[in-house]
C-alpha cells in the first residue's frame, strides 16, 4: 500500500492513498494516527468522529479533499460523506445536520417506492404508510384523516376501524396486529377472506 504524508502546520497526517481515491476498499490495513493513539480504517477518515486522539482524521482541509464513494454524498459543509440513502430519512447523519435540512430535503425526490411525509422533508417507504407505527417525524404517515382515505397496497388489508393496513397473513394468526384487534376477530377474518 502506498502511504502519503500530508503536512498541515505542525500536524502531520499519515494517510493511505486509498482514502483520497474514494476509500473503495474498506478492508484495507489500518492507518496509524501520528500520535500513535489508534490505528483506524480508511473509511473512518472524515466520518464526523475524531478517532485519533488529536482528531487529525477530521482535519477540515483533508476532509474537504476526500472524495465520497459513488453511493455517498458530501454534507453541505464538505467535511463528511454519508450514504445517499441517509438523506431525508429522519435521522441526522451529517455533523452539520444538512442531510435533514429543509433546503436539502425539499429539493430531493424520495426515490422508488418511497413517499414524502407531509412536512416535505422526510422520506419513508410507501409500505409504512398507515401501518400503525409512526415513522414520519411530523406523524403524517399515521394521521387519522389520511389513513381513513388511504387505500392499502397489495397483500395488505384495512383493519375494521379503517385506520391501519396489515398483512393478509396476520389475519387470525393469534397475534393482535390491528390496534383495534380486529385482525383476530373471526367474523372479520371470514369476511376478509370470503369477500
What's the CA gap between 71 and 48, in Å, rounded?
18
Give the pLDDT confidence of 63-120 residue by residue, as tens digits: 888 888 899 999 999 999 999 989 988 899 999 999 999 888 888 888 888 999 998 8
Q: Give the least confident one: 2-16, 40-54, 128-142.
A: 2-16
Answer yes or no: is 146 within a domain. no
Predicted pLDDT at 29 = 75
Among residues 62, 68, 37, 69, the alpha carbon closest in space to that of 51 is found at: 37
Mean per-residue pLDDT over the chain, rounded:
83
What's the CA gap between 110 and 40, in Å, rounded?
34
CATH code (residue 175): 4.10.400.10
User: Do residue 43 and residue 88 come from a single domain?
Assistant: no
Answer yes or no: is 138 within a domain. no
Residue 15 lies in domain: 3-65
Instruction: Please check the confidence at residue 33 and state whether its pLDDT lies above 50.
Output: yes
Answer yes or no: is 140 within a domain. no
Q: Which positions ≥6 away from 109 have C-beta within 8 Å?
A: none
Answer yes or no: is 50 within a domain. yes
pTM for the model stands at: 0.61
Answer yes or no: is 70 within a domain. no
Predicted pLDDT at 62 = 83
User: Do residue 58 and residue 14 come from a single domain?
Assistant: yes
Answer yes or no: is 58 within a domain. yes
Predicted pLDDT at 99 = 93
Predicted pLDDT at 121 = 87
Among residues 162, 155, 193, the alpha carbon closest in space to that of 178 is found at: 162
Answer yes or no: is 142 within a domain. no
Q: C-alpha cell of 52?
A: 485519533
User: Do residue 97 and residue 44 come from a single domain?
Assistant: no
Q: What is the mean pLDDT of residues 115-141?
A: 93
Q: Give the least confident one: 63-67, 95-99, 131-135, 185-189.
A: 63-67
Answer yes or no: is 143 within a domain. no
User: Do residue 61 and residue 88 come from a single domain?
Assistant: no
Question: Which residues are bridge partners to 165 per DSSP?
Answer: 158
For the chain, how many structural domains are there in total? 3
User: Do residue 86 and residue 54 come from a single domain?
Assistant: no
User: Do residue 119 and residue 155 come from a single domain?
Assistant: no
Amino acid at each position: 500500500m502506498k502511504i502519503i504524508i500530508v503536512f498541515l502546520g505542525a500536524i502531520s497526517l499519515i494517510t493511505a492513498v486509498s482514502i483520497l481515491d474514494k476509500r473503495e476498499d474498506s478492508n484495507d490495513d489500518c492507518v496509524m494516527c501520528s500520535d500513535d493513539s489508534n490505528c483506524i480504517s480508511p473509511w473512518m477518515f472524515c466520518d464526523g468522529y475524531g478517532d485519533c486522539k488529536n482528531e487529525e482524521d477530521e482535519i477540515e482541509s483533508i476532509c474537504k479533499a476526500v472524495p465520497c464513494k459513488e453511493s455517498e454524498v458530501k454534507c453541505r459543509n464538505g467535511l463528511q460523506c454519508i450514504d445517499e440513502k441517509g438523506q431525508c430519512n429522519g435521522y441526522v447523519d451529517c455533523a452539520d445536520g444538512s442531510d435533514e435540512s429543509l433546503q436539502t430535503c425539499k429539493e430531493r425526490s424520495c426515490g422508488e417506492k418511497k413517499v414524502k411525509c407531509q412536512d416535505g422533508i422526510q422520506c419513508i417507504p410507501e409500505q409504512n404508510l398507515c401501518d400503525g407505527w409512526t415513522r414520519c417525524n411530523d406523524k403524517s404517515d399515521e394521521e387519522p384523516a389520511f389513513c381513513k382515505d388511504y387505500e392499502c397496497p397489495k397483500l395488505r388489508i384495512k383493519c375494521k376501524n379503517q385506520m391501519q393496513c396489515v398483512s393478509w397473513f396476520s389475519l387470525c394468526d393469534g397475534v393482535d396486529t390491528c390496534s383495534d384487534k380486529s385482525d383476530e376477530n373471526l367474523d372479520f377474518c371470514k369476511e376478509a377472506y370470503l369477500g
